[in-house]
Amino acid sequence: MKKTFKNIETILNKSLNGIETFIQSHPKVNFLFGALFEATDGLIRSTKDTAKNPPYIRRGMDAKQYMGGILTALFFGWVVPAIYFYGFMCVVPKLIVSFVVGVFIIDVIWVILAREERINEGGFVTCLFIPAFLPPQAPLWLIGVGAGISILFRNILGGVGHNLVNPALFGRLLLTICFPTMVVSGWQEPSTGIPTIKSLMYGVDAVTHATPLMAFKETGKTASFLSLMFGANTGSLGETCRIALIITGIWLCVKRIANWRIPVAYLGSVFVLSAIFSLMVGKTAAPPIFQLLSGGLIFAAFFMATDPITTTYSQAGKWIFGIGCGLITVVIRNFTSIPEGIMYAILLMNLLSVPIQTIILKIKYRT
Amino acid sequence: MTKKAYKKGFNLIETYPVKFAKTIVFVKHNGPAVNYSFSFPDKKVEHIIVNLCPTEPWALPNRAILRNRTHDFLNKLETVREEYFPDSHCHVVVNHQESNLINELNQYKAGTDRIYPSTKEEYLHLHTMEPVYPYDAPVLIVKNILGLDIAFGQNTIEHSILLLDPQDVTGIFEHYIKKSEFNTRLIPISGTGLKDNKILKVKPGTPIKSMLELYVRTDIKYRVFLDGLLNGTEVKDLNQKINWSTKNIVVIEERDYKTPFHYIRTKELHFTTSLMGELRCCVYCNFCDDICPVNLEPALYWHCYDRGEKHKAHLYALEKCIECGLCSFTCPSKLELLQVIRECKLLK
Ligand code: SF4
Ligand code: SF4
């Protein structure tokens, strides 16, 4: 077993080396496919770069593992539960469309056109977000458009490390503007109980329902917390099974890929502020625990707001960022006609993080 | 006794365990050797700090210095103090986990057979420390033991503090007090480029080549580094001779080719020169400021540098950086933060 593996590896290594020399010795081929090869090769083999400056050893963690951690967390946080609740045929085609359009079409074309060195794994993360915050019955083309816009937008701003706002949320914002009805309809009742092969494949028969947050706006009724926690409720594809999201989110924080300050500040401020608001205005404001467990709040707090590039770099700034997100979310949810304010909250705070960072630095270093 | 004036840092010893062979090997050298000399400070010394707690795995382990005769070593230290630095306080720093050594030291302190018993007040002090890199850097060790702030690169003598290498304690004792011959230094050699990790007894003046030739692996490419991998220097010419301040030599494998499926074979890349990833943009992951022992935010310097505004890096307390190299070590985007910091520092 080990030997065959070794053989396969040697052959693979040799052929990749062969392709590499071929590409590099033919300028025209290199111009078109060099970057593409580098990108694919980067997924299979390590780099040959060695440390030229001190320190001469480096820690094993690299950007790929960093993104890999997020991908794993997202996979167990929403893909697996979503397959259980809505069926394989509902989730997987969406993922395929999202990846194909986002990574394999837009990113690859961009790599060839813009001569970027490589396809960034960040694209996979963005594309994994897109289906998660759209309704289970969203058409496939909508997902494709969303993924395309997001990746294009991210690449235009300069790729991972340069984006100003979370590209996935920006894509979602454009979808909300262009197709306002599409993104808020098509909710589906999740299948619960012991899964059958049929429910795992197709989910239960589509019943269109409003989400708990919308229902609250209309009727003032809150759903049961337990059903909210475990996902037996309507909502976007990826945001319903909160317990899985919380577990994977905490795992990310422990691995220090996500900064724990943001979810703590975000969820904490939502809780405190909505408690204050419901004391002040009474029944029209949703009660705190319901606020925490409804909508995409958990998903956003652990996975979207923590996107490190679009928050502030300073640790103190992260608290402000999280609290700001919480404040805007609660205000939008309670005092406007929009049921869900998370997208706007995070996008706005993404933009505000630039001045927050500047101010923090001024206070920290110049007084 | 452990008071912590700083935090963070990184436990290199756990991550890169290095085991040295028990025996110390003498390296023959017939060429010219350099005689031992210690440059005594011209200022009065108030505190002597002797660090017996190495924080780097490739540093000389203290058992090679003490050789189970802690008592002798302390005797020498007291004699040196009495002869050259009277009225000073001696601070001995040991690893907080080595309870045997701590016991021995305490027994020695309480014992009645000291040659120079403390008359007025105790001058021999025992301190414990976690073996976390870079807690033994001058700035941090002085801060931790004496609570004093010294600047990076400043000679500690200006604050009347002498940081004494344990080997120099023996050196001063043998050479200046006993007037006996003292012409060898213990140099640990280790790393993935060697067949065996050894502690060598070498005459300064010996070329590095003749020290290593018996031990290097011939089947791989390797690179040789002096005084640690994090902020040491690379040895380009193996004819370079070691001197009385050489601390250690590390030889590690040069992994300058691609390894397939590296994510399931990280062991092979571990402890080699491989970057373990590719150069990227900063992803603002906060790893660098989490690890920085003096609480700086190294990514800020990189951002200044990246925008071409090196001079602005000085706004963010750049001068506090002790150049330990941990930020570059940990950066998942493999940015050359230490290099950037040094370049920015040049631009005064
Ligand atoms: S460790 Fe590297 S990538 Fe992370 S914040 Fe610091 S400089 Fe940026
Ligand atoms: S900024 Fe300086 S002190 Fe801090 S980790 Fe980097 S090199 Fe070390």
A336 token code pair:
């406007």
Instruction: For CATH 3.40.50.11540, list the domain ranges present in chain B.
Output: 36-177
Question: What's the pLDDT tens digit per position in B157-174?
Answer: 999 999 999 999 999 999
pLDDT at A205: 63
Mutate-to-test residue for ligand 1 from B302, B338, B344, highest number of ligand atoms within 8 A of CB: B302
Per-residue pLDDT reduced to its tens digit, B258-278: 888 877 777 778 888 888 888
Contacts of A97 (CB under 8 A, 6+ apart): A140, A143, A144, A147
pLDDT at residue B3, as a whole number: 45
Q: Is the pLDDT of residue A181 over 90?
A: no
Q: What is the pLDDT of residue B1?
A: 38
The answer to whether B11 faces chain A, any CB pair under 8 Å, is no
Q: What is the pLDDT of residues A213-272, one digit of tens each?
A: 777 777 777 777 777 787 777 788 888 888 999 999 999 999 888 999 999 999 999 999
Write down the domain spans for chain A: 16-47+62-241, 258-360
Of B231, B274, B297, the CB nearest to A55: B231
Supply φ then ψ for residue A90, to 5 degrees: -85, -40
A–B CB contacts, 8 A cutoff, strictly below: 168
**Closest approach of chain B CAs to the CA of A366, in angstroms?**
7
B97 inside 8 A of chain A by CB: no
Structure tokens, A284: 């029209």
Cα-Cα-Cα-Cα dihedral sign, residues A64, A70, A71, A76: positive
Q: Which atom of ligand 2 is nearest to the CA of B231?
A: 7
Ligand 2 pocket list (CB less than 6 A): B 292-294, 296, 298, 321-327, 337-338, 341
Cα of B83 to nearest chain A Cα, Å: 40
Q: How far apart are CA A243 and CA A226, in angstroms?
A: 10
Query: Among the CATH numbers 3.40.50.11540, 3.40.50.2300, 1.25.40.10, 3.40.50.300, which is that of B36-177?
Result: 3.40.50.11540
- Asked if A127 contacts A99 with a C-beta cutoff of 8 angstroms, the reply is yes
3-state SS assignment for residue A140? helix
Burial degree of B3 (CB within 10 A; 0-12, 13-18, 19+): exposed
User: For residue A118, what pLDDT is reported?
Assistant: 60
Residues of B in contact with A49 (CB under 8 A): 274-275, 278-279, 334
Output the pTM of the full model: 0.87
DSSP output for B126-191 = EEEE---BTTTSHHHHHHHHH-----TT--GGGGTEEEE-HHHHHHHIIIIIS------EEEEEES
d(CA A9, CA A338): 55
Mean pLDDT of chain B, nearest integer: 88
Least confident of A142-146, A161-165, A169-173, B317-321: A161-165
Interface test with A, best of B13, B230, B271, B334 (most A CBs within 10 A): B334
